[in-house]
Structure 1
Amino acid sequence: MDYVNLGRSGLQVSPLCLGTMNFGPETSEDDSFAIMDRAHELGINFFDTANVYGWKKGEGVTEHILGRWFAQGGGRREKTVIATKLYGDMGDWPNDRGLSALNIRRACDASLRRMQTDYIDIYQAHHIDRNTPFEEFWEAMEILRQQGKILYVGSSNFAGWHIAKAQETAARRSFFGLTSEQSHYNLLTRAAELEVLPACLDYGLGVIPWSPLAGGLLGGVLRKLDKGRSASEHMVKELDKHRDKIVAYEKLCDELGEDPAYVALAWLLAQPAVTAPIIGPRTLEQLEGTMRTLEITLDEQTLARLDEIFPGHRAAPEDYAW
């Protein structure tokens, strides 16, 4: 495994990040344990979760699964760079969500208890909180870092100007600021190229793309349907919307002799600022297959053909002006 720095930080992470959103709702606890153990065997040290994962309000189901896995010992916690997130509803009262100093303190302590650890490597804002000033956000994060409860701070779903405002506010406080941005980015969804990726490059944030396979559309959906696999109503609607692109994409992958899912991930790893796409395997087989991604190098001609199928953006303002 060739590890990479997360943005401008000295933190070394694997170029694939193990997403845990399926742990609990889709993948049993025993299978989740097996996937995490195998991830370590494969060299993946970067895991991502969130306090809302498990989708039972206030229960933190997925964080509990991680905590019970860490509690088995064997260096599991020490080998893992764990990133979790806060923002979403964890209760029915007004201060059970958002990025207020109150919720940051409570949410962090709750995540630490659930994951049975005394620190979080990367504590991420799951969404921008338009009702909380960055001065309050950073003061609360500074206190957590002084207490040794967190090491780095990350964002998720921030706009480019949010990143700029966050970093400038942190700089005025002589604080390191954001280390990473977790953004919706894939071949089909490339709006991040307008301002988010340029902001991350300029401020030295590592980009962690979520939904790298566009909800499965880039994972060989046509091949799977041809083999009799079923698809959700939402998937069918999205496929109908993008069918011409997906047909051309899977044809290109056939020419390359590669699985569409792995080509989509390899494309992300070829993009400036991207550190590690989030993979969300539900089974061991999916995890092990994904490792093929790290063996794929897309040449300039292939990258150009992908841009023809899925047109991207130039950085603003050149994308829409001169």
Structure 2
Amino acid sequence: MVHRIAVVVLDRFAPLDLGTPGQVFRTAESPAGERLYEVVTCSPGGAPVRCSAGYTVLPDHDLGVLDSADTVLVTGVHGGQVLRDGTIDGELREALQGRPRVMSICTGAFVLAAAGLLDDRPATTHWREAGRFAKLFPRVKLDADVLFIDDGDVLTSAGIAAGLDLCLHVIRRDHGSEVANRAARRCVMPPWRDGGQAQYIERLVPPATGTGTATTRTWMLTQLNTPLDLDALAEHASMSVRTFTRRFREETGMSPARWLNLQRVEQARHLLETTDLGVEEVARRAGFGTTVSLRQHLHASVGVSPLAYRHTFRRP
């Protein structure tokens, strides 16, 4: 059954935040080529809304369409009442209550918080608006240093491009890594960035001199099934351990150990979905060594055991 996503569009919305769900979810298909998501748009009263770039769009529906939505997604806004005083009108607040799953991109988290949906829950938003958010919504457990947060039925992302990562994460959560990876390829974007990755990465592009860690990261992906310690990684990069660790964090937003562990989890998920290999062999090939270690890391990442994951996402 096609999963319906209703995108709530408000005045002064961020243009990319509206285009992102329509583009990313539209590319998600089953192995048989069947569409998995339907994306519709709505606004209060079904009225035209003007984006922060100055042009106007006409959403498909009014807020009544939320009653038929499996997921509600609120785009970011670059101004307006909710950013000024943390409030939204009663119609919108009421319409957002009791939905099966709600998401926000960028400052859309302000809208969810104003509706009371983030009280006592972890959430994120654009780092530039984090101070304002914390003052307006002190009950929210704000983490302004991550790309996105998945808290089950409520998901929030950081600014702009992090919405792409959140949408891919939802596809991965709903349908597994292979479907998400195919969607990413069609969108010509990286297949996966962990939600815990830092929003702001100090060095966005590796130095042109070739002294960055990109080459070593590529090599690490070919060595997932072998022990890799910091000494070996630094030696491959021709750096001291201290310099390598610092530059790796500058370029990726995380430590070498965390990055490597995430790649191993991703490899294990891929093998569980696409092969009949036993769990012990999957653990070996992914670099976890033992089934116990694989089970612990996979459960920490996706909340299920290897066999349960395979049962859910194994492709015919």
Query: Shorter-chain TM-score category?
Result: 0.3 to 0.5
- Greater relative contact order (Cα < 8 A, sep 6+): 1
TM-score when scaled to structure 2? 0.32
Larger Rg: 2
